[in-house]
A and B are shown apart, each in its own frame.
Chain A
Amino acid sequence: MSVSILVVDDEADVAELFRQQFRREVRQGHYVIHFAQSAEEALGKLGDGIQPELMVVLSDINMPGMDGLLLLRKVKEQRADLPVIMVTAYGDDERRRKAVEFGATEFVTKPVDFNLLKQQLQQLPTPS
């Protein structure tokens, strides 16, 4: 049974990175990886509905236009139960605090430790 992961990042190569890192899982059909290059695009995709069922949103914070924290809030407004993990280069206290305050499930700093991330994903509840 596969679930979706939505990756939001203005950097296009991040999508390629995730594809390569999750190639096995994807090949095995565990995950389907969706990409949005902006928070707006991500919200659009959410609105349109993502198939299979979305398990988690992995979002960068520093993006042009709407930033990741605002996206986090908006997503939580729509889907309070949907886990959002912030993936960012800036690991400072302030952003971390805000992320937690707005309801982020995890706060991960770049460069991403994909092994750890995969473990964290496995901890997440499987959407029904």
Chain B
Amino acid sequence: MPAEAEASSQSVSKLQQRIDVLEAELRARTAERDEAARQQAATAEVLQVINSSPGDLRLVFEAMLERAMRLCGAMCGGLFTYDGTNFQTAVTLGVPPAFAAYREKYPPVATNERNARMLQTKRFVQVLDVTQTEGYRQGDPVDRSIADLGQARTILNVPLLKDDAVVGMFSVYREEPRAFSEKQIALLETFADQAVIAMENARLITETQEALERQTATAEVLEVINTSPGDLQPVFEAVLAKAMILCQAAFGTMSTFDGLRLNTVATRGVPEPFARFRLSGPPEYGPGTGPARLIAGEDIVHDLDAIDSEAYRRGDPSRRAIVDLGGARTILNVALRKEDALLGTISIYRQEVRPFSDNQIALLKNFAAQAVVAMENARLLDEQREALERQTATADILGVISRSPTDAVPVFEAIARNAHQLCNAVFCGVVQYDGEQLHLAALRGFSPEEEKELRIKYPVKADDPSVLSARVVTSGHEEYIVDILADEHYDHNQASIGHRRMFGVPMLRDGKPIGAIVVAWREPGTTPQAQIDLLTTFAAQAVIAIENVRLFTELRDSLARLKAAQANLIQSEKMASLGQLTAGIAHEIKNPLNFVNNFASLSVELLDELKEVAGPALATLDEDKRAEVDEAMSLLIGNLGKIIEHGKRADGIVKSMLSHSRGGSGDWQPSDINILVEEALNLAYHGARAQDKEFNVTLERDFERTGKPIDVVPQDVTRVFLNLFGNGFYATNKRHAAAREAGFRPTIKVTTRDLGELVEVRVRDNGTGIPADVRAKLFQPFFTTKPTGEGTGLGLSISYDIVTQQHGGTIEVESEPGSFTEFTVRLPRTRRVSIAERA
């Protein structure tokens, strides 16, 4: 062979070798590429699984594990979560059933050397042959179980890391002892990262879902609160239902706290036997039980296992019942508090031992807060409503007061009605107190028959302790009876009405009790302060009403007196002006009258002179002529005499007019009593006739004419007589008009007598007479029996003053109704210094 041929065959074989090597490399790269492609595909698939079912970890883990095992050539594997202390088996794949069951029961433990190392280094740990490990030889259960139950030899554990913390573990196993390659380990680490992402996603999704659930539940409860703001029952039921659903409880109860006891307001899902137990009576919670601890001040009581508690072991009845009859194990109790005060409780129960999570506890606290808000709303609304009711009642009563100023009874009835209604009382009574006795003013809450029976008992003496209102007016302040059955003084015959608790408040005027309001309720116990305040207000209003009536009546009487005084004043003024007029006229008349008298007298004198002077001349006349002259003369003289006589009469009338028109105290003058009486009688009679043409009365006079003078103020005693005569005329007129008695002649008899140092004048009429009770008030100012407008009631009182005060005399009256009246005036003959003058 030539050399070139050998060289070319060497080159060919070198080429061939090269081609072989390249082909081998190609095959290797292709295999690598295929492998990489498969890994990529697997990763993509897992990601897709994560994306399509983000919350479903199990699916993700299974997908991951399956591809990992396939790509790594592992026989079986498992995925475990780690919470910082313990591992939990999430998924196992391909493991023999015995090992799977074992793993379910006994997750890997952190104490295992291998696991411990992984936890510490945060890196994968591979064991080629578990049977060769120290742990296996020592009998470590983890190692033994893997080898014996799992038939595995090579173990690879890859940690799942989140922010540098171990949150789980990937484990793959081979039956034969064959190490996993670097690439396979790297793949598993990728899958581990993806697993962590998946777990995060799932966690976030779950959190979001839970948050949304909570929000929705809260919003729903708020809506229930808003739609029925005063009505708590729907709120309680909504809260309990939502709480149980979101906290995954088997049953639940909700209670309100009234200061002494818890009262169940809502239950849900409560097992029948326990429900029956609850119906038998209100629960008693011994120390250590959830409700007891909440009452004691705790906010949350979370019993992990009710059986495993001191209360249960002690045999506390409520704890035993909830467990034995209700099947409760894990219990969560949350307090409803406003500031520090306990308003109620929510309790939810699980029938297995499974603690409630922090989120669930937080959720229940939230619901508790909402329930408190709802209760507060309801309370405020109630308060507002009650306040409005009270205001309305007060306004109602004030309205009655203003509408009936003269009668307090409608006010009392309005008070009784409102008190009875607003206090939800069995009955209510209003009584008045006159200083000695109690009088029933108004009653409410009784049938008409019952009321009649009660009214018979009144008036009641104020020192009777069996009657509550008597105690109230005696002590002058509020009185309570917590339970009438326990009150030894109370009249227990009253108990048939059906009341137990009573309260009484006094009606005070200037601090003194003038009455009381008494209310009775069915239940014994204490009376709420709001009702006490309300009743106190009513009592004040009752006093106002009484005062109003009194003041109104006084006002009316004052007004009447004022009017009378005014009329009298007007009358006086009239009289005064009339008097002035009269005086003026009298004075004017006096002047010409004087001339009449004077010239008349003078004329008489002149005639006499004439007679004297003409005497002798007349003698020379013949008889007839002389007779004519004589006759004319005497006629002239007679006429002049008449002029003088009538002039004097006119003068007398004028003097009388002048003296009568003068008001007030005049001069003391020695007078003839008979003349004064006569003048007064005439004046009165003619005055009465002038007013009433029909007026007719017989005047009888019986004057003792001694001629002895008496010191008087003539105008004033004349006024007295005028008054007495006027009264007499009125009385006889009245009798005459009232009963047309046949043969009745109205008569006034006036008598004067000389009693030495005294002068007596009697005025007797046969008129209607004066009854005894009127006689007592006869001389009182403003007292009159005449209808309004006819008499001022001043006449007799002034007469009384003139007689007694001014003249130091006496005036008395005797009378027989229907028969006669006689006034007797006695005046001292000589002026006595009056009491006023003496002072």
Contact = CB atoms under 8 A, between A and B. Distances in A.
B662 to A, nearest CB: 10
Contacts of B651: 111
B598 A111 contact: yes
Interface stretch (B485-493, B500-508, B588-596): B588-596
A20 B599 CA distance: 9
Interface string A82-125: 00000001100100000000000000001110000000000000
A21 B598 CA distance: 9
A17 B591 contact: no
**Interface-centre pick from A11, A21, A90, A111 (highest chain B CB count, 10 A):** A111
A90 B595 contact: no
Interface string B575-611: 0000000000001001100110111001000100000
A58 B62 CA distance: 161
Contact of B587 (A17, A89, A112): A89
Given A11-B591, A110-B590, A17 B599 contact: yes
A93 B651 CA distance: 21
A13 B592 CA distance: 10
A20 B590 contact: no
Interface string B662-704: 0000010000000000000000000000000000000000000
Contacts of B598: 17, 21, 111-112
A17 B667 CA distance: 31
A123 B590 CA distance: 29
A89 B597 CA distance: 14
Contact of A20 (B594, B597, B606): B606
B594 A90 contact: no
Interface in B140-173: none
Contacts of A17: 595, 598-599, 602
Contacts of B595: 11, 13, 17
B587 to A, nearest CB: 6
B584 to A, nearest CB: 12
A59 to B, nearest CB: 16
B567 to A, nearest CB: 31
Q: How large is the interface on B (under 10, 10 to 19, 20 to 34, 35 or more residues)?
A: 10 to 19
Contacts of B667: 93
Interface string A13-43: 1000100110000000000000000000000
Given A13-B595, A89-B594, A20 B602 contact: yes
Nearest to B587: A89
Contacts of A11: 591, 595
> SS class of chain A's interface: helix, strand, loop or mixed?
loop
Nearest to A11: B591
B590 A21 contact: no
A105 B597 CA distance: 26
A89 to B, nearest CB: 6
A21 B689 CA distance: 43
A20 B602 CA distance: 7
> SS class of chain B's interface: helix, strand, loop or mixed?
helix
Contact of A89 (B591, B599, B602, B606): B591
Contacts of B602: 17, 20-21
B120 to A, nearest CB: 141
B610 to A, nearest CB: 13
A109 to B, nearest CB: 10
A110 B597 CA distance: 11
B655 to A, nearest CB: 11
Contacts of A93: 667
A111 B602 CA distance: 13
Contacts of B599: 13, 17, 20
Nearest to B662: A92
A23 to B, nearest CB: 9
Given A17-B602, A20-B606, A21-B602, A111 B587 contact: no
A13 B596 CA distance: 11
A20 B667 CA distance: 35
Given A17-B599, A89-B587, A90-B587, A111 B606 contact: no
Contacts of A90: 587
A117 B95 CA distance: 173
A13 B595 CA distance: 8
Interface in B629-662: 651
B593 to A, nearest CB: 8
Interface string B274-296: 00000000000000000000000
A13 B593 CA distance: 12
B440 to A, nearest CB: 68
Contacts of A13: 595, 599
**Interface-centre pick from B591, B598, B667 (highest chain A CB count, 10 A):** B598
A46 B590 CA distance: 30
**Interface-centre pick from A89, A90, A93 (highest chain B CB count, 10 A):** A89
Interface string A32-75: 00000000000000000000000000000000000000000000
A111 B597 CA distance: 8
A110 B586 CA distance: 13
B591 to A, nearest CB: 6
Nearest to A110: B594
Contacts of B590: 89, 110
**Interface-centre pick from B591, B597, B651 (highest chain A CB count, 10 A):** B591
Nearest to A18: B598
B437 to A, nearest CB: 63
A46 to B, nearest CB: 26
Contacts of A20: 599, 602, 606
Nearest to A20: B602
Contacts of B594: 89, 110-111
A108 to B, nearest CB: 12
Contacts of B587: 89-90
Contacts of A110: 590-591, 594
Nearest to B598: A17
Contacts of B597: 111
Nearest to B590: A89
Contacts of B591: 11, 89, 110
A110 B599 CA distance: 13
Contacts of A89: 587, 590-591, 594
A89 B586 CA distance: 11
A5 B602 CA distance: 20
B125 to A, nearest CB: 148
A20 B591 CA distance: 18
B595 to A, nearest CB: 5
A20 B605 CA distance: 10
B835 to A, nearest CB: 24
A37 to B, nearest CB: 15
Nearest to A13: B595
A6 B753 CA distance: 51
Nearest to A62: B587
A7 B372 CA distance: 118
Interface string B499-526: 0000000000000000000000000000
Nearest to B599: A17
A115 to B, nearest CB: 11
A71 to B, nearest CB: 19
A112 B601 CA distance: 12
A14 to B, nearest CB: 8
A94 to B, nearest CB: 12
A90 B599 CA distance: 20
A52 to B, nearest CB: 25
A20 B595 CA distance: 12
A25 B607 CA distance: 18
Given A13-B595, A17-B595, A89-B590, 6 more contacts: A20-B599, A20-B606, A21-B598, A89-B591, A90-B587, A111-B597
26 contacts: A11-B591, A11-B595, A13-B595, A13-B599, A17-B595, A17-B598, A17-B599, A17-B602, A20-B599, A20-B602, A20-B606, A21-B598, A21-B602, A89-B587, A89-B590, A89-B591, A89-B594, A90-B587, A93-B667, A110-B590, A110-B591, A111-B594, A111-B597, A111-B598, A111-B651, A112-B598
Give the top 8 A-B pairs by smallest Cβ distance, nearest first: A111-B594, A20-B602, A110-B594, A17-B598, A13-B595, A89-B590, A111-B597, A111-B598
